[in-house]
Amino acid sequence: MPIRPPRSRRAFLALGAAWSAALVACRSKSAAPAAVEPRALGAAVSPYGSRSKFEKTARFFNQNTKVPLEEASSRTPLHDTYGIITPSSLHFERHHSGVPDLDPSLHTLTIHGLVDRPLEFTVDEIKSLPSTSRIHFLECSGNSGGEWRGGSTESDVQRIHGLTSCSEWTGVAVATLLRECGVHTDATWVLAEGADAGKHDRSIPMAKIMGDAMVVYGQNGEPLRPEQGYPLRLLLPGWEGNANVKWLRRLKVMKQPAMSREETSKYTDLMPDGTARQFTFDLEAKSIITRPSGGDTLVAGAAYELTGIAWSGRGTIVSVEVTTDAGTTWTKAHLQTPVLPIAHTRFRFPWTWDGKDTLIASRCTDDTGYTQPPLATLIAVRGMNSQYHNNGIQAWKIASDGKITNGNRA
Amino acid sequence: MATAPRRFGFAAVLLGTLSVAQGFSPASVLAQSPSLGIGHPPKAEQLKQIDIDVTPDGKGLPPGNGTAAKGKDVYTRRCETCHGPTGKEGPQDILAGGKGSLATDKPQKTVGSYWPYATTLWDYINRAMPFDHPSTLTPDEVYSAAAYVLFLNGIVGEQDTLDQTTLPKVQMPNRNGFVADPRPDIPLRKK
């Protein structure tokens, strides 16, 4: 059953309309504000915080599917999250064999293979090293994948694009640990393997491992959530989610990729000629308007702020442009600071809807000069069966009655 | 809270000396002397337990063997519920068929039509299958289950024995079907 927040999900639109005369009408219909000063004593302090009982925003996952829920994904409510940091509790999930329940005092990371000194590190030992914290998005390469073959006009931003989230990650450079082991000069790949039931594994090129790859134990200021790899995960900034191996137990230094199931039969991108692209790690520049978006209803003549997120696995977002006239004109949106490399970037664009049918969309450009293309441009190159890595422009269709639907095929 | 002591300076000197004494190659010692003073050599038995990957050259395959004829029984007991009587019925991943479908509008990515290496099949069955009881099959059962899935795809015969030597030699139909990532595959905007 779809988990849809109650009417509060739309409350923003009522508030957005506050700038116009619509506000007066709205307020006059709503319940009278509390008439008395608070007199009841509030709750006492507590050891670990929780959100207000009035807030119901949740991850979405399809429960009516043949896919076991241990192998499923849940999606971040992008419509109802603010700024650039995703709360850890709402970070998207994609597991391949469930979330293991690992005791950090028993879990270790072993580095072996083509090294002088195979070493096993405890979690406390890794935590004892000087740490670094970085804000990076993580996106599943299957995010937005349903759009390749048409998608659903009734779908919303959470269901289409909710497999991206952004956190502050804390850990150590993988290079620091590898150097401790003495990597052989002829080594070119590193196999990363998790301690989940299926021992999820991916081969990673040495250049990335010795570059910005991290072993992380912290997420948004506290230990990783179990769903995000507690107590240790690999973080490969800008690379497809599944390569950022969770519950990391082993790094094996090798001369060739292992050709694991996840890098051959899965996570390879099928082209129209029947060949498949392999080791397609990069997540290319992408942006989406998150509010208003599919499922919302606009009021004619009311003022709105179009807002959304943009990100690139290759670097920093330098501009986001918005169209409100179905692509005829594009205007730069305001980028909210901080604008960080390989991180969600929040954009804002004030706009008054004139009550006419239209399409709205955003497109971003990163500092490599890459501009997010229309989905049709990607389909022209890759066909409709590549399944992964859809970073095409997302259009939202606004009908004359104000209802917003998925406009990608409009 | 337990926090390991920091001892980088001392450890660098101590372990650097040890490395040379133990005869590690001079180049890598110079470039990558241990300096953190953390970690310990893994126990051989424990390393053997987690060092489970099998690569296309066959490295990592354990002793043992199997045939499709023996694998039918393993498949029926441990695989069929999810993958169907002939590997084509599901409800989970379709394992057989799909030959010639990759360049069509309805591609079927099965072991026979898509997987480039038979070693990957062995590795994956061994590491992750059956889905709800992974790593419970014996090496002989994994060889046999892999042989049966390959037999369902017409890639090996019913009596062909798969073992450390023969499995890596199995020629998968889509062995040369993969290409490197050419992205960005659209023109960049002028800076």
The verdict on A181 and A239 lying in the same domain is yes
Instruction: Show residues of chain B in contact with A124, CB under 8 Å.
Output: 2-4
Q: Which of A180, A184, A259 sits opposite B116 (nearest CB)?
A: A259
Residue for token pair 């299958």 = B129
Does residue A249 lie within any of the structural domains?
yes
Q: What pTM, to 2 d.p., does this model score?
A: 0.90
Does residue A276 lie within any of the structural domains?
no
**A278 contacts B186? CB cut-off 8 A:** no
Q: Which of A270, A298, A332 is the last residue of a domain?
A: A270
Task: Tell me if chain B has a CB within 8 Å of the CB of A284.
Answer: yes
Architecture of the domain delimited by B65-169 = Orthogonal Bundle (1.10)
Specify which residues A250 forms β-bridges with: A110, A193
Instruction: Show residues of chain A in contact with B53, CB under 8 Å.
Output: 191, 193, 201, 252, 258, 260
Does residue A73 lie within any of the structural domains?
no
Q: Which of A119, A277, A369 sits opposite B179 (nearest CB)?
A: A277
Q: Which parts of chain B have pLDDT scores under 70?
A: 1-32, 190-191
pLDDT tens sequence for chain A (410 residues): 333 343 344 444 444 443 443 333 333 445 666 678 889 999 999 999 999 999 999 999 999 889 999 999 999 999 999 999 999 999 999 999 999 999 999 999 999 999 999 999 999 999 999 999 999 999 999 999 999 999 899 999 999 999 999 999 999 999 999 999 999 999 999 999 999 999 999 999 999 999 999 999 999 999 999 999 999 999 999 999 999 999 999 999 999 999 999 999 999 999 999 999 999 999 999 999 999 999 999 999 999 999 999 999 999 999 999 999 999 999 999 999 999 999 999 999 999 999 999 999 999 999 999 999 999 999 999 999 999 999 999 999 999 999 999 999 88
Q: Which of A213, A238, A270 is the last residue of a domain?
A: A270
Distance separating alpha carbons of residues B29 and A180, to the nearest angstrom: 10
Return the number of CB contacts < 8 Å for A and B.
197
Distance separating alpha carbons of residues B122 and B131, to the nearest angstrom: 15
Name which of B54, B108, B109 to mutate to probe chain A: the one with the most chain A Cβ atoms within 10 A of its Cβ. B109
Task: Return the pLDDT at A36.
Answer: 81
Cα–chain-centroid distance for residue B147? 16
Does residue A15 lie within any of the structural domains?
no
Does residue A358 lie within any of the structural domains?
yes
**B55 contacts A258? CB cut-off 8 A:** yes
Instruction: Show residues of chain A in contact with B116, CB under 8 Å.
Output: 259, 264
The verdict on A245 and A384 lying in the same domain is no
Does residue A261 lie within any of the structural domains?
yes
**B5 contacts A118? CB cut-off 8 A:** no
Task: Return the pLDDT at A71.
Answer: 95
Number of C-beta neighbours around residue A278 at 10 A: 18
Q: Which of B27, B47, B177 sits opposite A110 (nearest CB)?
A: B47
Task: Return the pLDDT at B167.
Answer: 98
Q: Nearest-CA distance from A230 to chain B in Å?
A: 18
**B177 contacts A274? CB cut-off 8 A:** yes
Q: Which of A179, A249, A270 sits opposite B32 (nearest CB)?
A: A179
Residues of chain B with CATH 1.10.760.10: 65-169
The verdict on A335 and A198 lying in the same domain is no
Distance separating alpha carbons of residues B125 and B88, to the nearest angstrom: 17
The verdict on A342 and A245 lying in the same domain is no
- Taking only residues 150 to 179 of chain A, the set having a beta carbon closer than 8 angstroms to any beta carbon of chain B reads 176-177, 179
The CATH number linked to A104 is 3.90.420.10
The verdict on A122 and A238 lying in the same domain is yes
Number of domains into which chain A is organized: 2
**What end-to-end distance do the CA atoms of chain A give, in Å?**
27
The verdict on A234 and A112 lying in the same domain is yes
The verdict on A249 and A303 lying in the same domain is no
Which residues span the domain enclosing A375? 286-406
Q: Do the beta carbons of residue A240 and residue A140 sit within 8 Å?
A: yes
Task: Return the pLDDT at A32.
Answer: 64
Q: Do the beta carbons of residue B125 and residue B191 sit within 8 Å?
A: no
pLDDT digits (tens, 9 = 90+) for B156-183: 999 999 999 999 999 999 999 999 999 9
Task: Tell me if chain B has a CB within 8 Å of the CB of A281.
Answer: yes
The verdict on A226 and A334 lying in the same domain is no
Which ipTM did the prediction report? 0.91
The CATH number linked to A294 is 2.60.40.650
Q: Which of A270, A297, A315 is the last residue of a domain?
A: A270
Task: Return the pLDDT at B39.
Answer: 97
The verdict on A227 and A318 lying in the same domain is no
Q: What is the DSSP string of B60-129?
A: TPPS-EE-HHHHHHHHHHHTHHHH-TTSSS-SS---S--TT-TTSSS----TTTT---HHHHHHHHHHH-
Structure token pair of residue B166: 């023969």
Compute the CA torsion angle A146, A148, A152, A157 (nearest 10 deg). 60
Instruction: Show residues of chain A in contact with B187, CB under 8 Å.
Output: none
Looking at residue B30, the DSSP 8-state letter turns out to be H
Residue for token pair 């269709």 = A397
The verdict on A243 and A331 lying in the same domain is no
Does residue A86 lie within any of the structural domains?
no
Residues 6+ apart with CB under 8 A from A102: A195, A226, A230, A231, A247
Distances (CA, A) of B120 to A94, A285, B125, B153: 22, 32, 8, 15
Q: Which of A280, A365, A382 sits opposite B189 (nearest CB)?
A: A365
Distance separating alpha carbons of residues A289 and B74, to the nearest angstrom: 51
* A145 burial type by CB count under 10 A (0-12 exposed, 13-18 middle, 19+ buried): middle
Query: What burial letters (b/e) apply to A28-40, b meaning 16+ CB within 10 Å?
Result: eeeeeeeeeeeee
